[in-house]
A and B are shown apart, each in its own frame.
Chain A
Amino acid sequence: MNDLSSSLLLPAIVFLPLLAAIIAYLIGQNRLQGPINICFSLAQFLLIGLTTLLFLHEKTDQSERYIIGGWGAPLGIDLIVDGFSILMLALTGLLTLLITLYSASYFSGKYSASDKSLRFWPLWWLLISGLSALFMSADAFNIYVCLEIIGLSAAALVALQGNRAALQAALRYLLVGLLGSLFYLFAIAILYRSHGTLDLMQIAETTNHSFPDKVAMILITIGLLLKIALFPLHFWLPPAHANAPTPVSAILSALVVKASLYILIKFWFDVLGETTTLGASQVLGALGGAGIIYGSWCAFRATQLKLLIAYSTVAQLGYIFLLFPLSEYSMGVSSFTGSASQAAVYFIVAHACAKAAMFLAAGNLILAQGDGEIAQLKGIAVREPLNVLVFAIAGISLIGLPPSAGFIAKWLLLTTAIESGQWWWVIVVITGGLLGAMYLFKVLSLAFSTDPAVIESRAVKSTAPVSSVSSVPVSNVMTTVALILALITLALGFNAEFILNISNTVSEVNDI
């Protein structure tokens, strides 16, 4: 009776945001805009929450399948959930709710031109719909469509600011995304030619060491690495994530890059697992390691606050790629089980929460300061203590200090590296942590510095609001949302077993 595969929950998770996109466009700009969108996000959160609870309750060893229209693979398109995808879905639901709350204030007209909200909401819901569908998709071509929905709506969202830098970043982001998707599509064509099906499970059953499968795996890897922005293909990410409106930056760093990563993990370990080699996984790990060092260094050099956080995303994505060499060694054959995959899953969740919190807090600080320059943040802790606190908590998690989700993730990564005898990754991880501390403490020490002259000048400024810098008081909602995300990051550090249990289900249920 609680059967997920026969209930309408799974298609509803895709359908509701699509409906919300249309309604958000139709109602246009009025007072109801914010409340209606918040209602939709609540409904989406409840839908996903219910699905998650049902899935955990059933505890089946099989992944749950929903057959759309009763056609079934290979003719129809199926939706499927397993442990990993339910975790990503839950993350999507949580971030949708929180960032929608944030956006409802952000786009209420106080902080941005009012016509932006009309463009933001439909695109926002399209993005959420694409993400939700992607995490449940069991069909290779359907994944391509989802990737394009995500890519198009994300690029349009980046362009929302309308200035030259944002448009340029959006255009580059769009072109790179299209290029990556085309590589993926070509791989799908090759797979269909040799397997005669597009269903992931059916492809996995007939995968072998044949030449076409290897070519397909290479094309998929290249295409998705472009979209994930692994070093040295990261060039488009910092401008796109830094120039987007704050809520968009948050979802881009927290979920959109992870969506491509999710697909890569699925293909690498499940669908085309037979074709992967030890050498290839070491190459991915090495690129990840280079990304950690390079991204952290660029973050340290950045002068704009949001650019610093965007480069930090490049570095953090590098850590997740250590999954590939570590799991290969620990299992003999590549499979998405064991401690390396647990570390990666934990890292994905930890980074999503911490980075979203950090972007939202940074957006608040920039609004309060009226400027994105890091140097301008001197003494901001006096005026915006809560937002600086959020930034600090998120920073602690990104560096990997206890007690935070990031600490557990790094701990798992380090122990896996030591257990598998690959000590060189340990050096990379520790160096990355030190570099991370360098660039984050740079911001924090500025924020906490109490230069009396600066505070005096602030006081003068606040009494005489004729200065060219336009600073606005940050609404309580926006600060609270950032704070909730930061507290979740802390809570994940104290309650590691919850996530690890779900990711255990991942390893049990990974027979896609």
Chain B
Amino acid sequence: MTSALFYSMAGLALFAIGFFGVVVASHVMRKILALNVMGVGIFMFLIALAKRNPLVVDPLPHALVLTGIVIAVAGTALALNLMVRIHHIDQSSQEQSK
């Protein structure tokens, strides 16, 4: 087994674990983390793919991963922001009811 294949399989496994987490997790925070695990799995698959020819490295997947990381950060930031806001609304309504 070449190292590229090994990393591809690991990427696949991460994707599957992350997907399991998204479906099963009940807390939003866990869902966001699971989505990130899925994303990392794909990035790993892409990076392993860059080395599928042992002699040359394909630079294009690296560019894709960089773009993907930027998008993942933006998505995670927005999701966390929404989650925190909902949490604040819940807290203040709880205090009011007390």
List, sorted by A's number, 11 A–B pairs whose CB atoms are closer than 8 Å. A141-B64, A148-B75, A152-B74, A155-B78, A164-B89, A168-B86, A170-B82, A175-B22, A175-B32, A189-B42, A193-B49
Of A178-186, A400-408, A488-496, the one contacting chain B is A178-186
Q: Are B85 and A167 in contact, with the CB atoms below 8 A?
A: yes
CB-CB < 8 A to A182: which residues of B? 15, 35, 38-39, 42
- CB closest residue in chain B, given A170: B82
Q: Are B78 and A174 in contact, with the CB atoms below 8 A?
A: yes
Q: Are B42 and A185 in contact, with the CB atoms below 8 A?
A: yes
Q: Are B82 and A159 in contact, with the CB atoms below 8 A?
A: yes
5 tightest A-B CB contacts, nearest first: A171-B82, A148-B71, A164-B89, A167-B86, A182-B38
Q: Are A174 and B42 in contact, with the CB atoms below 8 A?
A: no
* Minimum distance in angstroms from A181 CB to a CB of chain B: 8
CB-CB < 8 A to B89: which residues of A? 163-164, 167
CB-CB < 8 A to A178: which residues of B? 35, 75, 79
Give the interface of A toward B (CB within 8 A): 141, 145, 148, 151-152, 155-156, 159, 162-164, 167-168, 170-171, 174-175, 178-179, 182, 185-186, 189, 192-193, 198
- Is B2 an interface residue when CB atoms closer than 8 A count as contact? no
- CB closest residue in chain B, given A147: B71
* Minimum distance in angstroms from A101 CB to a CB of chain B: 28
A183 to B96, CA, bound (A): 42
Q: Are B68 and A185 in contact, with the CB atoms below 8 A?
A: yes
- CB closest residue in chain A, given B86: A167
- CB closest residue in chain A, given B38: A182
A427 to B9, CA, bound (A): 47
Interface of A is mostly: helix
Q: Are A164 and B78 in contact, with the CB atoms below 8 A?
A: no
Given contacts A155-B78, A164-B86, A189-B45, 6 further A-B pairs with CB under 8 A are A155-B82, A159-B85, A167-B82, A171-B28, A186-B42, A189-B46
* Minimum distance in angstroms from B98 CB to a CB of chain A: 18
CB-CB < 8 A to A189: which residues of B? 42, 45-46, 49, 61, 64
Pick the contact of A186: B45, B67, B74 (CB < 8 A).
Answer: B45
Count class of interface residues, chain B: 20 to 34
CB-CB < 8 A to A151: which residues of B? 75
Q: Are B49 and A174 in contact, with the CB atoms below 8 A?
A: no
CB-CB < 8 A to B82: which residues of A? 155, 159, 167, 170-171, 174
- Is B62 an interface residue when CB atoms closer than 8 A count as contact? no
Query: Given A156-B78, A168-B86, A175-B31, are A145 and B67 neighbors across the interface (CB < 8 Å)?
Result: yes
A159 to B79, CA, bound (A): 11
CB-CB < 8 A to B45: which residues of A? 186, 189
- Is B24 an interface residue when CB atoms closer than 8 A count as contact? no
- CB closest residue in chain A, given B63: A141
CB-CB < 8 A to A164: which residues of B? 86, 89-90
CB-CB < 8 A to A179: which residues of B? 19, 22, 35, 38
CB-CB < 8 A to A155: which residues of B? 78, 82
- CB closest residue in chain B, given A158: B82
Q: Of residues B39, B68, B74, which shows the largest number of chain A Cβ atoms within 10 Å of its Cβ?
A: B68
A151 to B75, CA, bound (A): 9
CB-CB < 8 A to A168: which residues of B? 86
Query: Given A145-B67, A182-B42, are A174 and B75 neighbors across the interface (CB < 8 Å)?
Result: yes
Within 8 A of A (CB), among B31-81: 31-32, 35, 38-39, 42, 45-46, 49, 52, 60-61, 64, 67-68, 71, 74-75, 78-79
CB-CB < 8 A to A186: which residues of B? 15, 42, 45
A63 to B23, CA, bound (A): 41
* Minimum distance in angstroms from B41 CB to a CB of chain A: 8
Query: Given A186-B45, A189-B46, are A171 and B83 neighbors across the interface (CB < 8 Å)?
Result: yes
A193 to B61, CA, bound (A): 10
* Minimum distance in angstroms from A163 CB to a CB of chain B: 8
CB-CB < 8 A to B60: which residues of A? 192, 198
- CB closest residue in chain B, given A196: B58
CB-CB < 8 A to B19: which residues of A? 179
Q: Of residues B52, B78, B83, which shows the largest number of chain A Cβ atoms within 10 Å of its Cβ?
A: B78
